Structures are given as C-alpha cells and as structure tokens.
Chain A
C-alpha cells in the first residue's frame, strides 16, 4: 500500500494560533499537515518556531483561532478532551507539567482510569507501559523524587497507557541516557508497526534521520518543508538556514564526497556500508587475500 492510500487519522487545515495579548505575533500560521496510519513524522525547527504550539493543537489542549484540526474528520473544537485522548496522546516537553500522583504506577494509571476502563484493563496497561519503558523497579516511588530523565520516562509511560492511535512526543529523548533513548525508539517503531502513527519533535538530527519517514520543518510558525527524510535531512544549506544541522554521519559523508563517497547517507549503518565499498575498491588486494 502506498503511503497516500493509508487511512488518514489527523488532518490539519491551515491552522493559525496566537497566544493572548500579543496581537502582532502569530505562534503558528496557516499550518497544513496530514498524519496517516503507519507514519513516523518528525517535526523540526528553531527554538520558538512553533513546534510545541502546533503539537498542543493535536490533542485539543489548544484550539486554532483560524483553520481546523480534524481527527477522523471530526473538528477538535467539537470533541471533548476525553474523546480526543483515545486518538491522540501528547507527551509534554516538560515532564513535570504532566506528573502529579503519589506513585509512579498511580500516575501512569490516571489516563486509562479517566477513559473509563475497568480495573483489570487499567492494571494491564500500567503493567505494559512500565515494562516497555523499564520502570518496574520504581513503580511504587514518588514521581517527584525521581531524577529528571526518569520522570520523563514516567510521563511517557502515562501517555502509552492511553494506547492512542497517534503518539505526539515533544522532545522525548531529551536528558535520556543512551539506554533509555533506545527504549523510547523501540516504542516509536512499535507504534507505527502496530498501525498507529507518531509525530516526533526533536532537535536530535541523528535520531530524526534514523527514524522518520517524513520530515516537516517550521520556521517562524510557517511550514517551510514537508518531504521524505532523505531529501530534507541531506540538504545542508536548507538545514543550516533553519538553525538546524546535518546528521553527524551525513555531514561526514558530504565532506568525503570529493573522494567518491555518496553524500546522502542517513544513518551509521548506511555510512559504514558506503565507506566500506569505497575502501574495498581502493584496496583490491585486501579483498583477494580475504578468507
């Protein structure tokens, strides 16, 4: 099935938003975006470009002052928040905006309880979220006495427990160690493999290049790019013009391009395969003497 034929979950039509008071400044302007099943979309842009503002529209936390956000064709202005929560789960940029309960397990169970699930289902979902993010050792702890990155994982587990069709994650790997970041990555990939979708906001170019199918870039509240990851994430001048950067291996490949390296690799594996091919071509005797 080509991506265009996949079921549309979210349709954002020319959405604009301005925070109260300051009439001159629009945080986002005429943003269009479609999110379909099985898609992992990355949303990038300079600090203050409007990523979090946009993300908060998808679960109804903010309502557009112009344009529409449609979830399965229904306008978020007409949907109650608990209905939206089945479709879109939003993990805040600051985890502390989300946590409040006395224990980690209670905090994670809050969402499913609010959706009206029975005790057995709540327990199942809490258990699964805790397991997927590796939090079993601290299930009984008080969230606010945990380290910052652990609090971020707990907040994320709370969103997973809602089992939403679309995960909207606002810089989910910030402050995480490599091990925790890997777990989050596994969760993202599982979400799309299960037929859901992900909108990933991140400043980590390497992560985006290695995971996203499509990249959307905001600048000053406007969408300035919406295209396949390989096309967007290998365009040096465009990225730097938007306060972004090439992924580290792409930057390296482009520096080696005069020596025959392909300039559009996106992840370390691609880089190593391409470099190894080049290296073998220049060292034919080594190849011959191989086992």
Chain B
C-alpha cells in the first residue's frame, strides 16, 4: 500500500460510483448514445469481478472507462466517478493510468501494431521506463505463460486469430499491472489455451493480489474465476451477486438474452424432469451431486448383497 494524498488507498483498488456515459452523436443532429447508466462497484486488490451482459449492453465501454480512454479519448459526456487507487480516470493522464491498469481489448488486432511479437510485449514496459534486463525477463515469462514463446520474432500481423489474442494478453501481463481488465480474453482461444489463461489469472490473484475485471460471454469462466458478478443490460446493472446467486436466476438470464453455465442448465432441466433439487454449476460439483443421487436410491441402500 502507498499513501496518496490524505488517505491510504491501494493502487489496485477500483471504485466506480454512479457512472453514466454517453458517446457523442455519430452524426451532428442525432441523439448521443447512452452507453452506461448508474454503474457502481468496488474491487479491492485480489478480487475478481465479472461483467456479463448482452451485446451492446456497455461492457467494452465500461472497460474503456477503467483506463481513461472513456472519456478522455472518446469525448462524450460522463457523470459519476471511476477511481483507480486515488486516481480519477476522468482526469488522470492516460499514460500514467497505464502504469496501474492494463486492458486486453476485445479485438486483439486493435491492441497490436504489427511489429514483432517481442516488440509488442516490450512496448508497454518500455513506456513505463522498466530497465532493459527486466523487460527481457518479462517478455520471456509473459509469452511463455500464454504459450507463444516460439513466436517471439514473428510479426504479430502474421499470426492466427488465437495467436494474436495470446500476444495481446502477454503484452498486458508484461505490464505487471495492479488492475487487469480483460474484454473477452479467451474468445479466440482453443480450449487448452482458455484453460491456460484461466490458470494465469488465478495465479495473479493469489500471488500478486491483482485486481481483475473480466468481461466474457463464457459463463463457465465467470463461475470459475469471479467473486462478484454484475449483469449489464442497456447500460445498467440489473442484477449482481456471487456467480452462484446470479446463475440461480436462469429464467431471468434467458429473458435478457444470456444463459447460466451449460451444466447449470442441465441441473434445471433434470429438476423439471425428476423433481430433484440439483444446484450444481460446474463439473466437480455436478459429478458429486449426480453420483450421490444415484447412490441414495432406495435400491442401492437397501440391497444387502451390494
């Protein structure tokens, strides 16, 4: 922790208070687009917050508000407050905010500038003034963690979609940020790559106490990684809670255009068919509950020969 002004507040503390934002109208004379409205949440170092919502509900806009691009680079009108430590992202210089907040954009092409993979990853730390020897170590570690160490000297423009996404994640990791914001980080990854990234995020939380804000359409990933989940609809938070609490509202999520994890849907369907009370969300708990339900059958318990 370090002192900032009068209060002691960790650089990794994220406070969003009654945030509302409108993009400027796309043509003069048209109405501005209200992208966010009345968003509030709070994350301490080591916390992971998940953001889930329909297309166009404001998830990416919220990510951009966390590193100051919104509103500093986009223009538009903003209300409320976004604080990273004691810095307000409305006014604090974007370049300095980058020393605390790293953002993995939804479109990997937008994060990369088409240079060699090692240059892409070195870019951020160089701007922060990290010494060359340490930059070298950071490049190696970051590329290795996401499985693209072999591509170091390739041009990022000549990689596959998933390879680009891995490089974009590596570039964010190399910043060693107090706050890591990820917008659909596993969308283009193969299943093994997704699992690897989930593992990396878990390690950051336990070993570095990184604050993580995760946007994804993958409810399994949200259930596995987040402590608090916000459901966005048309720029507003319409439900919040632990993944377990939120995903218990399957019908409501479906009405919004979302879905609980696939296995939670299975639990719901079985409950309707068998009048059971399954509540599992993930694989281990599903195996446990479904096995128990078979074992607890009168036949299995009452059979003297078994």
Q: Contact residues of A with B, CB < 8 Å?
A: 19, 45-48, 51-52, 93-94, 96, 141-142, 145-150, 153, 171, 174-180, 203, 205-206, 240, 243-245, 248-249, 251-252, 255-256, 259-260, 268-269, 271-272, 275-276, 278-279, 282-285
Contacts and interface: CB of A to CB of B under 8 A. Distances in A.
A276 B276 CA distance: 11
Contacts of B269: 268-269, 272
B184 A175 contact: yes
Contacts, number: 154
B200 interface: no
Given A149-B55, A176-B55, A259-B294, A271 B163 contact: no
A118 to B, nearest CB: 30
B130 interface: no
B274 A171 contact: no
A141 to B, nearest CB: 8
Given A148-B107, A171-B188, A285-B298, A252 B257 contact: no
A24 B26 CA distance: 48
Nearest to B158: A19
Contact of B60 (A48, A148, A171, A240): A148
Given A203-B189, A245-B192, A252 B106 contact: no
B191 interface: yes
Interface of B is mostly: helix
Interface string B158-176: 1111110010000000000
Contacts of A178: 217, 254, 257-259
6 contacts: A45-B190, A47-B161, A177-B217, A244-B192, A256-B287, A282-B298
A150 B23 CA distance: 17
Interface stretch (B14-22, B78-86, B203-211, B260-268): B260-268
A203 B190 contact: yes
B291 A259 contact: yes
B133 interface: no
A248 B284 CA distance: 12
Contacts of A150: 55-56
Nearest to B255: A179
B300 interface: yes
B1 interface: no
A268 B269 CA distance: 9
B287 A255 contact: yes
B73 interface: no
A244 B191 contact: yes
B161 A52 contact: yes
A91 B230 CA distance: 32
B188 to A, nearest CB: 6
Given A93-B188, A180-B257, A256-B290, A283 B297 contact: yes
Contacts of A48: 159-160, 162-163
The residue among B195, B257, B261, B265 with the most chain A CB atoms within 10 A of its own CB is B257
A203 B265 CA distance: 20
Contacts of A278: 294
Q: Tell me which of B189, B193, B258, B290 has the highest count of chain A C-beta atoms within 10 A of its own C-beta.
A: B290
Q: Which residue, B60, B217, B270, has most C-beta atoms of chain A within 10 A?
A: B217
Given A47-B162, A141-B26, 10 more contacts: A46-B190, A47-B161, A150-B55, A177-B55, A178-B254, A203-B191, A245-B195, A255-B283, A260-B294, A276-B270
Interface in B74-103: none
A248 B262 CA distance: 7
A145 B26 contact: yes
